Structure 1
Amino acid sequence: MSATTLPTRPAATRVPGTLRLGVERARYEVRGFFRERDAIIFIFAYPIVMLTIFATVFGRDGAEVAASVPFTQYFLPGMIATGVLLSSFQSLAISIPVERDEGGLKRLRGTPLPPAAYFLGKVGQVLLVSVVQVALLLTVAALLFDVDMPDASGWVTFAWVFVLGVATGAVCGVGFSSLPRSGRSASTVVTPVVLVLQFISGVFFVFYDLPSWMQRVASVFPLKWMAQGMRSVFLPDEAASLEPSGSWQHGAIAAVLVAWLAVGLVVGVRTFRWRRRDDG
């Protein structure tokens, strides 16, 4: 009598981890971003166009700010910082309400995708876009305007200011995305905030020329510190005397960016909505 062969149970399918799902989600977000041609042109071209304008208007005949710093060299750090702000904070604070209005977030919430993977995907997309954006800006600055690039230690500072700036901008953008009442109003709510921060944070003007009260207001927000951190990379050491404190304040830069990163996380966790306000 032959032994009865029992049916074997199929091996359980291993569910991908949150990190792997986040990477796959980032790929999806990047593909979606590069399909939006108007967003690509604005985010990538805006810092380059603004740097070109400043170099043309203020940098004529080798004009310099104090400490023998050419105008183009001085404004490049601000353009890098504002580029990070546009591709992280502004991009997410506008695009997420649109996704919510269109029902994309509601449908996504009904899938097995962990919420953390969704947010990791957003951060990954922002990081990649920011890297490409800054690479293009630095290439234009070096080749067309002869801006000096930093040494090895300068690139180390650049790396941590850049990564902290991207992370802070992305997390704050997610947190801010719950404020607009609809996707249609998101741009109206977010864009003025970004413009005001640019004007008071030393992006469009030499920071030490701004009124002292404006400098104090700007010091509350991360854009001012991102721009200052980038100035410490691209400007000579003696230019630190142009800062209100007389130094680059790397410790304060890191502390403020980390503090805003924590604030953005708390606000995002407490206020993020997957549904429209009129959808329960």
Structure 2
Amino acid sequence: MSWFRYAKGQFGLSWKVFWRNRRSTFIGFLLPVLLNLVIAAPLRNQEIGGVNAAGYVAVGLLGLALVTSFVNLLGSVVARREELVLKRLRGTECPPSAVFAGQLGVGAVVVLIQALVLGGVAVGWFGAPLPADPGLLLLTLLGGYLLFSVLAVALSGLTPSAETAPLVATPVLVLCMFGAGVFTPVSALPGWLHGPSSALPLSPVVRGLRTAWFGREFGAESWVGGPLPELDLLHGWASAAPSLLLVAAWLAAAAALSRRFLRWEPRRG
């Protein structure tokens, strides 16, 4: 019970800090929602792979919300380390896992709210269908969130200060935003980018989310191609299995990096 009490305390503190910080509120919550209105809304009457193009982009932006959560968590962990908060907490009875559980819990709740907003707009305004497989959708979303959260903790150890955190986080955000098929099919990218694009950590998450939402096998869709074949629940899981395995591999690598590089005290010298 004490573990949950400590985690709850960290959650409450992180929740207040998140909403009081304008930068974290904009990047971590508003950015995917605004991009949905600016980029997805004009595509309401178009299709990609036989599905509503605006809904297709909206689901991609749900994946992008995981990366914006990564940006906020990275900056938050580095700032708390440099302000000696992590050092002081480690010297108390608060378990190290509870220190991060509270922060990760806040990010998870924010992502869930974003999922409801983006999904509600996609279905209610864009005319997209309801998720074909909510279970697969939630599993993919959870796996992607854990991946980017653990990756943020790992990269915090390589980030010298809170001022340099954007220099570490921004390239990850930009690469995932424009290379993982968030706004457009990967087939629309130059041919030499197809391989590197599929290796990005967000790429399997976006593919899995779209398969779960629309019940089709994504990866080969294009703006000019025909509809993708529809999948039943069993074949939907089979189609998403490679993406889930790739997410698991990325998560294992991020966990190994976090054990190796996480720092509890500021860098000196």
Query: Shorter-chain TM-score category?
Result: 0.7 to 0.9
Which aligned pairs between 1:162-201 and structure 2 lie closer than 5 A?
A: 162-201=141-180
Structure 1: give runs of 5+ residues left out of the alignment. 1-15
Q: Deviations over 1:58-77 (max 9, x none)?
A: x26x2223x33232022122
Q: 1:236: how far off?
A: 4.7
Choose 1 or 2 for highest CA Rg.
1
Which residue, out of 262, 273, 280, partners 2:252?
Answer: 262
Match of 1:37 in 2: 22
Which residue, out of 48, 64, 73, partners 2:55?
Answer: 73
Q: 1:217 to 1:238 in 2, by over 3 A?
A: closer
Moved more, 200-209 or 48-57: 48-57
Identical pairs, percent: 27
Q: Is residue 237 of structure 2 the alignment partner of residue 237 of structure 1?
A: no
Structure 2: give runs of 5+ residues left out of the alignment. 223-228, 230-234
Q: 1:20: how far off?
A: 4.0
Q: Distance in 2 between matches of 1:193 and 1:237?
A: 28
Q: Deviations over 1:54-110 (max 9, x none)?
A: 2344x26x2223x332320221221000012211x2121121111222222222222
Q: 1:23 to 1:215 in 2, by over 3 A?
A: farther
Is the Cα contact below 8 Å between 1:54 and 1:71 reproduced in 2?
A: no
Instruction: Count residues with an aligned counterpart.
Output: 257
Match of 1:54 in 2: 39
Q: Deviations over 1:116-143 (max 9, x none)?
A: 1112222212211111121122122222
Is the Cα contact below 8 Å between 1:24 and 1:121 reproduced in 2?
A: yes
Is the Cα contact below 8 Å between 2:180 and 2:203 reproduced in 1?
A: yes
Q: Distance in 1 between matches of 2:246 and 2:215?
A: 23
Q: Is residue 46 of structure 2 the alignment partner of residue 63 of structure 1?
A: yes
Q: Distance in 2 between matches of 1:227 and 1:36?
A: 28
Is the Cα contact below 8 Å between 2:52 and 2:126 reproduced in 1?
A: no
Match of 1:7 in 2: none
Say what the alpha-carbon RMSD is for the aligned residues: 2.4
Is the Cα contact below 8 Å between 2:4 and 2:98 reproduced in 1?
A: yes
* Aligned structure 1 segments of 4 or more residues deviating by more than 4 angstroms: 238-241
Match of 1:139 in 2: 120
TM-score by length of structure 2 reads: 0.86
Match of 2:200 in 1: 221
Q: Distance in 2 between matches of 1:34 and 1:175?
A: 24
Q: Distance in 1 between matches of 2:249 and 2:219?
A: 24
Moved more, 32-41 or 265-274: 32-41
Match of 2:6 in 1: 21
Moved more, 259-268 or 159-168: 259-268
Q: 1:27: how far off?
A: 2.8
